[in-house]
Amino acid sequence: MPAKADSMRYDIPALYKFLLRHFGFRDWWPGETQFEIIAGAILTQQTSWSNVEKAIASLKLHGALKPEAIAMMPEVKLQKLIRSSGFYRQKAKRLKAISKHIISGSGSVQGFLSRDKTALREELLSMDGIGPETADSILLYAAGKRIFVVDAYTKRIMSRLYGINPDIGYGELQSYFQAELQKSVRIYKDMHAQLVELGKNYCKARPECRPCPLKSRCKYYKTNTTLAQS
């Protein structure tokens, strides 16, 4: 059974302060426009950000990083432009679908993102291929709405650091972070970015525990005899 959020006794604010001191403020998510962030949230599914950057650059080069351009573009051409992101056929469909939805429903990206947070989240989740992580990334980073994003890094780090069940539900873990963190869009963004940074550099699928700044307080490290003795 997953650990219950109300039974967790972790000092998330202290963890955030520690990571902030170590990595510095991350100023994440990169994007010149709200739609670029929306596109990036879809393109980053199941791939690294370096691959997304190539796809974004390709779209920019062809003047296609706006919903009107993507909605009108032949799908085969769009697939070629975003090929570097992987799963480009599915992602092309998703980009076209959300672009058409924005145009037909709101007329503009700003109008689409200005909707009530709960209603907008439900709308995003109703679209094919958009799950909670992608929807919440769009809400937080593109729309500036206060909702915490839980990703694979978050679950992995919380599991290793504190020993929670890695199968804990998305909503349960999200609720815990939202209860513990200062209620600030800026803090939500940066905490998510700090966890991504920790996950990319140390808490990888195959962890690099020895240089990790959190090893002294990490349950996984302390219970792994080989690591702890090194």
Domains of the chain: 5-26+149-223 (1.10.1670.10), 34-142 (1.10.340.30)
In this predicted structure, what is the pLDDT of residue 229? 54
pTM, full prediction: 0.92
Helices 170-180 & 12-23, crossing angle to 10 degrees?
80
Q: Report how far residue 185's alpha carbon sits from residue 203's, in angstroms, rounded to the nearest whole number.
A: 25
pLDDT of residue 9: 57
**Which are the contacts of 226, defined by CB distance < 8 A and separation ≥ 6?**
none
Q: For 54-95, how does the pLDDT look when each residue is reduced to its tens digit (9 = 90+)?
A: 999 999 999 999 999 999 999 999 999 999 999 999 999 999
d(CA 151, CA 26): 17
Q: Which residues of the chain have pLDDT under 70?
A: 1-9, 225-230
What is the model's pLDDT at position 18? 95
Token pair, residue 207, equals: 């962890």
